Amino acid sequence: MDLVGACRAFVSVMERGSFTTGAAAARMSQPVASRRIAALEELFGERLFERTSRRATLSSFGRDMLPAARRLVQAADALLHEAETAKRKPWRLAVPHNCSTGSLARLIADAQEQEVILDLHTGTPAQRMELLRSQQVRAALITVPADEATWSVPLGLAGTAAAGARRVYLATLRAGRACPDPVRKVWIQPEDDVPHIRDPLTRLRDALGLRPVQLAIAADLTNAIAEVLRTSDLLLCSAAQADELGLDWRPIGEITLSRGYSLAAAMDVNSQHVQARLGSAISRCLGPATRTTTPHAVAAV
């Protein structure tokens, strides 16, 4: 039995003094309203309305039950209102600052199709973690090693000159002692200034005999791109990012690197539920990224 629906019919019929107009006001047919009120009377074992009048007149028992029925209907209406408000409340999510405007817009649009309103906050890996720790966002895409990631984005090197080979080998950047400055550099953007990407590149640089300055950490992405555009330097980035910037992209010959991402959520958020609804949209925004078969769980913050 739909107790709330029955009480709604009871209250509406009483307020309008008619089964017909009361049922219409409650957005149900007159027969449905009559059946629901009859079911309520059967449940209580007493009549709610006198049946001898043309108007819907409350019985003595009906007058006693009316206040409680009205409170139940009002509470149900308040609950429905809160549910609608909660669905419309923006869901704050921290995302990489190097995602393009177009990809972020598509993520918002894809989320709306899942009835999720996103409020995106962009930042570097460290900034995203701080946003989550300070509870300024409900969840954040954090950087993790590729073997621990839910989404993985392959990285390579991009520059203004088309590479003749299918891969770019860092060994080709090695300059002799007599080589004048400036030497060619590989720029690491802030998104990739994390140990599981920066440290393997640093070890490879040293193993190949490159100069320390040839692996440069960029203060920001814009200036790193500017250096690549005006010189023969290279930018560590994804293929999609290189395409957006109009740069020629190739994988690295000596090493395989990927950005790894997982969704870290606040204590009151089910991250796997969010991934199930927005996983494909997040994947498209990041790269596109390769998504693992089973999402990795991330400890709540």
Please indicate, yes or no, if residue 208 is contained in any of the structural domains. Answer: yes
Distance of CA 82 to the CA centre of its chain: 22
- Pairwise CA distance, residues 284 & 88, whole Å: 24
Residue 109 is part of a domain; what is its CATH number? 3.40.190
Please indicate, yes or no, if residue 296 is contained in any of the structural domains. Answer: no
- Look at 282 and 287; give whichever has higher pLDDT: 282
DSSP 204: H
- Look at 121 and 291; give whichever has higher pLDDT: 121
> Which two structure tokens, joined as six digits, stand for 242?
């290189």
Task: Indicate the residue among 30, 54, 85 that finishes a domain.
Answer: 85
Please indicate, yes or no, if residue 200 is contained in any of the structural domains. Answer: yes
Q: Which residues contact 26 (CB under 8 A, 6 or more apart)?
A: 8, 9, 12, 13, 33
Averaged over 98-123, what is the pLDDT? Answer: 91
Quote the number of domains for the chain. Answer: 3
> Which two structure tokens, joined as six digits, stand for 208?
């190949």
Averaged over 102-110, what is the pLDDT? Answer: 93
- Same domain? 160 vs 253: yes
CB-count burial class (<10 Å; 0-12, 13-18, 19+) for 292: middle
Lookup result for tokens 């629901």 = 36
Task: Indicate the residue among 85, 113, 128 that finishes a domain.
Answer: 85
Tens digits of residue pLDDT in 19-66? 889 889 999 999 999 999 999 999 999 999 987 666 788 999 999 999
Total-model pTM: 0.69
- Same domain? 68 vs 100: no
The per-residue pLDDT for 299 is 46
Note whether 23 and 29 are within 8 A (CB): yes
Note whether 232 and 159 are within 8 A (CB): yes
- Pairwise CA distance, residues 184 & 204, whole Å: 16
- Same domain? 160 vs 129: no
Note whether 129 and 296 are within 8 A (CB): no
Residue 52 is part of a domain; what is its CATH number? 1.10.10.10
- Same domain? 174 vs 163: yes
The per-residue pLDDT for 9 is 92
Please name which of 120, 116, 114, 51 lies closest in space to residue 92, comparing C-alpha atoms: 120
- Same domain? 199 vs 222: yes
- Same domain? 138 vs 278: yes
The per-residue pLDDT for 85 is 67
Q: 84: pLDDT confidence band, cut at 50, 70 and 90?
A: confident
In this predicted structure, the answer to whether residue 4 has a pLDDT above a threshold of 70 is yes
Please indicate, yes or no, if residue 228 is contained in any of the structural domains. Answer: yes
Q: 275: pLDDT confidence band, cut at 50, 70 and 90?
A: confident
Query: Across the chain, what does the average pLDDT equal?
Result: 88
In this predicted structure, the answer to whether residue 298 has a pLDDT above a threshold of 60 is no
Residue type, 193: D
Boundaries of domain holding 142: 91-148+260-291
Tens digits of residue pLDDT in 242-260? 999 999 999 999 999 999 9
Task: Indicate the residue among 36, 60, 85 that finishes a domain.
Answer: 85
- Same domain? 250 vs 265: no
Please indicate, yes or no, if residue 24 is contained in any of the structural domains. Answer: yes
- Pairwise CA distance, residues 126 & 140, whole Å: 11
Phi, psi of 61 (to 5 degrees): -65, -40
- Pairwise CA distance, residues 279 & 290, whole Å: 11
Please, which residues bridge with residue 144 across strands? Answer: 260
Averaged over 272-290, what is the pLDDT? Answer: 82
Please name which of 26, 17, 72, 28 lies closest in space to residue 50, comparing C-alpha atoms: 17
Please indicate, yes or no, if residue 301 is contained in any of the structural domains. Answer: no
Please indicate, yes or no, if residue 18 is contained in any of the structural domains. Answer: yes
The per-residue pLDDT for 300 is 47
- Look at 136 and 115; give whichever has higher pLDDT: 136
Tens digits of residue pLDDT in 169-214? 999 999 876 666 688 999 999 999 999 999 999 999 999 999 999 9
- Same domain? 162 vs 173: yes
Tens digits of residue pLDDT in 137-175? 999 999 999 899 999 999 999 999 876 778 999 999 998
Per-residue burial over 211-223, b = 16 or more CB atoms within 10 Å of its CB, e = otherwise: eeebbeebeebee
- Same domain? 66 vs 98: no
- Same domain? 112 vs 134: yes
- Same domain? 265 vs 209: no
The per-residue pLDDT for 162 is 72
Please indicate, yes or no, if residue 299 is contained in any of the structural domains. Answer: no
Helices assigned H by DSSP within the chain? 3-16, 19-25, 30-44, 60-88, 101-113, 125-133, 195-208, 221-230, 239-245, 271-286
SS3 readout for 151-185: EEEEEEEEECCCCCCCCECHHHHCCCCCCCCCCCC
- Same domain? 113 vs 209: no
Residue 187 is part of a domain; what is its CATH number? 3.40.190.290
Averaged over 283-291, what is the pLDDT? Answer: 81
